Amino acid sequence: MACVEKDIVGNKALRVLDPDLPLLATEAAIDIDNMLSNRSKDVTAIHKLAELLKNSVKVNSAGPPHSLMDPATLTILTEAVAHAAGGKNEMEELLSEAVKIGTSLSSEDPMKNPKELKRAMEFCIALAAAVAAYRKSIRDLRPMHPFRK
């Protein structure tokens, strides 16, 4: 299964304007919820999102992880991580949290750590919300007709 997912995502990293991202984050959140409630065990979307995360943060064994994302995507991601991780607001801490969430999502048996999985679900929900808000903010910059309210 992991191989198939790799083919789909490839080396794609997180991009806030990726049209598939809101759906993927939403689907992953639902799949986690269903898994936590023993309703299903579908990990396809969860693993796809994990792969995107993995391709977006470079992990250094010697130092803190660093971002491979554009500034807008990084802001959206850290906002979502901060929502799930609560109380952290340093960039390095948040990226480390993102790596942890990614690891939790990419597990072959995510149910091994239900607490981490619940946190990953919160992250997915926050990510979908932040992406939607950012996309709307860009759409709203389009000049409106002067008589349209």
CA distance 105 to 12: 17
Q: How far apart are CA 62 and CA 120, in angstroms?
A: 26
Q: By CB under 8 A, is residue 59 in contact with other proteins?
A: no
CA distance 50 to 55: 9
Among 65, 82, 113, 116, binds other proteins (CB under 8 A): 82
Q: Is 28 within 8 Å of 87 (Cβ atoms)?
A: no
Longest CA–CA span in the chain (Å) reads: 58
- The first and second tokens of residue 99, run together, are 């790596």
Shortest reach from residue 47's CB to other proteins, in Å: 16
Q: Does 40 bind other proteins (CB under 8 A)?
A: yes
Amino acid at 37: S
H or E element that contains 148: none
Q: Provide, rounded to whole angstroms, the least separation between the CB of residue 64 and other proteins.
A: 11
- CA–CA dist 42, 32 (Å, integer): 8
Choose which of 12, 18, 44, 116 interacts with other proteins (CB under 8 A): 18
Which residue from 5, 14, 27, 98 is in contact with other proteins, where contact means CB under 8 A?
27
Nearer to other proteins by Cβ, of 15 and 100: the residue is: 15
- Name which of residues 104 to 143 contact other proteins (CB under 8 A): 121, 125, 128-129, 132, 135-139, 141-143
Question: Which stretches of the chain bind other proteins, using CB under 8 A?
Answer: 15, 17-19, 22-23, 25-27, 29-31, 33-34, 37, 39-40, 70-72, 75, 78-79, 82, 89-91, 94, 121, 125, 128-129, 132, 135-139, 141-143, 145-146
